[in-house]
Amino acid sequence: MSFIKKDYVKDFVVRLTVSRPEALNALNIDVIQELDDNLKDCINDDKVGVIILTGEGDKAFIAGADIKKMKTMNRDEAYDFGRKGQSLTKTIETSPKPVIAAVNGFALGGGCEISLACHIRIASDNAKFGQPEVLLGILPGWGGTQRLPRIVGYGIANEIITTGKMVSASEAHRIGLANHIVTTAELIPKCEEIAEEILKNGPNAIAQSLLCIRHSMGKDINSGLEFEVDRFSELFETDETKEGLSAFVEKRKPKFR
């Protein structure tokens, strides 16, 4: 049984949908592995430039991990499960191709952590974000304690994680957790609109920009600047950069893809 739907919605845009609606798209080991495999396939596919990640239906993006399965885990099994989830979020975060989260409904626990790993988050007006793990006597184990503070700041992250409260779409937008809020009907079109804006640009330049942004996390600015100028100068040896600069001078659109 397949839990991930893969659709090429436009040129160079693919949509991956977690399809387990009977469980509000909650993730177990099988779903995690299938999603990770599909993401890696998209990353390695020259026909893909942007990935949109969403959940089946309008009730949930991903409601979290499979709690019934977690209830039976011992320490070693929990460690392996946590590592699997972290591996998935690392695949998303380190993707050289932008991953846009189309957050429809609940993005809780592991679902929130997956959205945090995405490069851009678009929320429907019924979206709810949260890290409710402490309510169950556990903590976010797929990167929530690491990524949420970097996105919204330590004080707000401390409150969200230690209270386990849900955050509305409007509040998520206010604190920088969501880039945009739209209606449910507008969610995928908005993601596709942003994808089209991204696709106008050089794919290698995009990948290197994401790498520079990621590299700067937790490092001093001088280290980040040194890394940035190296990537900047290396691009000048690529056909992509030559095409982009020539097109500007010649007053035409560049042909990157």
Residue 15's beta-bridge partner residues?
Answer: 7, 52
Report the greatest alpha carbon distance in the chain: 64
Whose CA is closest to 113, among 95, 96, 133?
Answer: 133
Other beta carbons within 10 angstroms of residue 162's beta carbon come to 11
Answer yes or no: are the C-beta atoms of 108 and 135 closer than 8 Å.
Answer: no
Identify whether 113 is a catalytic site residue.
yes
Answer yes or no: are the C-beta atoms of 64 and 111 closer than 8 Å.
Answer: yes
Identify whether 192 is a catalytic site residue.
no
* Catalytic hit among 93, 113, 192, 228: 113
Answer yes or no: are the C-beta atoms of 29 and 81 closer than 8 Å.
Answer: yes
Cα 193-199-203 angle, rounded to 5 deg: 150
* Catalytic hit among 22, 34, 77, 133: 133
Q: Which residues are annotated as catalytic?
A: 113, 133
